[in-house]
Amino acid sequence: MDTLGLFQNDIDDLEQLGPARYENIFKMYAKGEKYIYNILRRVDIDLNSADPSTFAEAPLKIESPWTNISYFVYGTVDLWWLIYICNKDIFKDPLQLVPGGTKLRVIKTSKLQSILNEIANDLKPRV
């Protein structure tokens, strides 16, 4: 395998991803003419030490996939992963549908950009 170790947005040959996309946390590697993600990296939010004012409650009326919830809360399907991470203490499988009647913890819209910036800074290599 050819090594590359760059994020997708740092590779000119590939489409640029929006800042909310989950794929931004993974570095890419070249295998011949194809690129693959190193999916072993993950983002974690310490829910026990996080400031409670960062979160709001989002009650669901009907069973929904994470992408629909993300669209309802943030206006984009791209942030499903962030909602899942905020509720990982309840759900162990991101492919699991969220049952109606569930009250989810979500990051307040007013705090969202600072959280995404913090995640992006944590992903930068430390020199």
Domain spans in the chain, listed from the N-terminal domain onward: 2-37, 52-123
**How far is it, in rounded angstroms, from Cα 113 to Cα 107?**
10
Secondary structure (3-state) at 38 = coil
* Residue 106, C-beta contacts closer than 8 angstroms, at least 6 positions apart: 55, 56, 57, 58, 73, 83, 86
Distance between start and end Cα atoms, the chain: 25
- Per-residue pLDDT tens digits of the chain, which is 127 residues long: 455 688 888 888 899 988 888 888 888 888 888 888 877 777 777 777 888 899 999 999 999 999 999 999 999 999 999 999 999 889 988 889 999 999 999 999 999 998 888 888 777 665 5
Q: What is this structure's pTM?
A: 0.78
Beta-bridged to residue 7, according to DSSP, are: 27
Distance of CA 63 to the CA centre of its chain: 21
